[in-house]
Amino acid sequence: MIYVIGGRGRLGRAIQSSRPLDQVTVLDRAIYEDWWQADATSRIARFFEAAPAGSVILVAAGLLDPALPRADHQRVNVELPTRVMEAARRSGQRVVTFGTVMERLVEHPNAYVATKAELGRLVAQRAAAGDAVLHLQIHTLYGGGEPAPFMFLGQLLRALREGRPFEMSPGRQLREYHHVDDDVAAIHAALEAGSSGLLALSHGAPCTLRDLASHVFSALDRVDLLRIGARPEPPDDNYATVLPQPSVIKNIPFRPALPGVTAYLKALLAEPQQQA
């Protein structure tokens, strides 16, 4: 059985739909919303006592918006999965947590990246001690609903919808954009391989933000809205590092980012918008 903590987000929904209903259990938020608390370990262990042998707990709950308070990130991104790992040692489940590849790539992380990096270090320590734990570092996801408004694709989509200029940096930053269903296939492959510790779900074919934006605006015949270089270049970002594709996910057919993201945004733009 696969137990999903955080089933309302993009990744959680995709995991749920990737397997038959009798193989996935999505926990209601009311069940786990206080599991971050220091005294929650025993309650969590009792909850999973009756889980079938070989069950896996996927902790997909997390905060992404770096503008939210650091304390909120700490509770959801670190303390919640830590309590689940502590409980699973007693009740006998494998635990998978999720982070970001930016843990490896920036020197001065924001609250989101910093807390995910802290979680990654904890998982690495637990794995080295023999616990059945895996921390998957993911790239930027698309598909499965609207992009978050604070992220690059969300801002780009809003500009296209409103027909207003899209101002961006010179766009030399390297990014891998993954369709969420491709990453779910990679997650299942990593589980089947028995992976533990830290694993970056990379396909090794990043694009620059400049190339991505240029491709999207060209495909939609709205190059007139694109303002490359209108904003300063972030000093702490990934401009050169390409992460290799791990052998355990070599057989995953990741779709190419430029046409994939463009098709995704075109589909969203074609949907009728609700009036405020």
41 vs 108: CA distance, rounded Å? 32
Tokens 């074609």 found at: 270
In this structure, the dihedral spanned by the alpha carbons of residues 188, 190, 193 and 199, taken in order and rounded to 10 degrees, is -170
pLDDT tens digits, residue range 182-231?
999 999 999 999 999 999 999 999 999 999 999 999 999 999 999 999 99
DSSP-derived 3-state class of residue 20: coil
* Domains assigned to the chain: 1-138 (3.40.50.720)
pLDDT tens digits, residue range 132-160?
999 999 999 999 999 999 999 999 999 99
Q: Is 268 exposed, middle or buried (0-12, 13-18, 19+ CB in 10 A)?
A: middle
171 vs 222: CA distance, rounded Å? 18
| H or E, element range at 66 | none
pLDDT for residue 272:
83
